[in-house]
Amino acid sequence: MASGEGLPVEKQLCFREDKLEKRLLPLLVGKVFHVTSWRSYCSIKSDGFIDTYPDGRFYYCERDKLPFGVRNGYVCLFDLRGDLTAIGQESGMSILSWMSFLQPHRPDGHKHAYFIVDSAVFDRLIPNSAARDEDGCFTRGKAIPYIECWYPGRLSLDSVGEVYEVTVTASPRPQMSGSVASLAELLMQMSWDKTWRDDGS
C-alpha cells in the first residue's frame, strides 16, 4: 500500500485543463479521495496525516456557518463509488456541477494532490446522509450533496493507498485567422490610445 518511509505510492500526472473530465475523472471514479493544494500536500507529507480544523481557522465566518465536516472535526472527502449517472438523474443536475476538484481555474502549471483513501477504512467513513439531518446543510453550501463524505478525526497516511500529484496546464488559445488577429490587434491599440489620452499624457 505504501512505499518509502511509510508514504503512499505517488503518481505524477499532467493534464490540460480542458482534458480533466476525460482523463482525470476516470481515474477517480469508484474511489474515495481528499484533494488539496500543493502547499498543503507538502505539509501533510511532513506531518504524516491529513488534519482537521474544527476551529475554522481557515474560514472567515461564524462557527454555525462553517462547512459540516469542518465544524464536526472531520476530514472532508469526495466519494465517487456511486452511480454518477443515476445521481445526476435523481438530482436533475449535471454531476460535474459539484465536481470543483476538476475545475481548478488556476494559472498555467498549477499543482495539487489527490489522496486516494484505502478501502480498509471505508467502514469508518461518515456517509453523505449524515448531513441531511442538519436543516439547510446542502442548500446553504455547508456540504456537497451525494458525493461528499467524511472521515472522523485525522486521517493517517497509513490509510491512504495512493497519491496523484497532478499538474494542470492551461488549455491552448484558439488560433485566429489573419484578419481576425489584425482586428484584435487594432482594437487593443485603440483601447491603449484611449487610456493614454484619458490619462492626459
- Give pLDDT tens digits for 170-197: 878 766 555 555 555 555 555 444 433 4
More confident residue, 95 or 3: 95
- Give pLDDT tens digits for 140-151: 567 888 889 999
Size of the chain in residues: 201
pTM of the model: 0.75
C-alpha cell at 143: 456540504
- Give pLDDT tens digits for 9-68: 899 999 888 888 889 989 999 999 999 888 889 999 999 999 986 443 444 444 455 778
Burial zone of 135 (CB within 10 Å; 0-12 exposed, 13-18 middle, 19+ buried): exposed
The CA distance from 74 to 132, in Å, is 16
φ/ψ bin of 62: left (φ > 0), alpha (ψ from -120 to 50), beta (otherwise): beta
| Residue 74 parent element (H or E) | strand 74-79
What's the sign of the alpha-carbon dihedral 122, 70, 91, 113?
Answer: negative
C-alpha cell at 185: 490587434
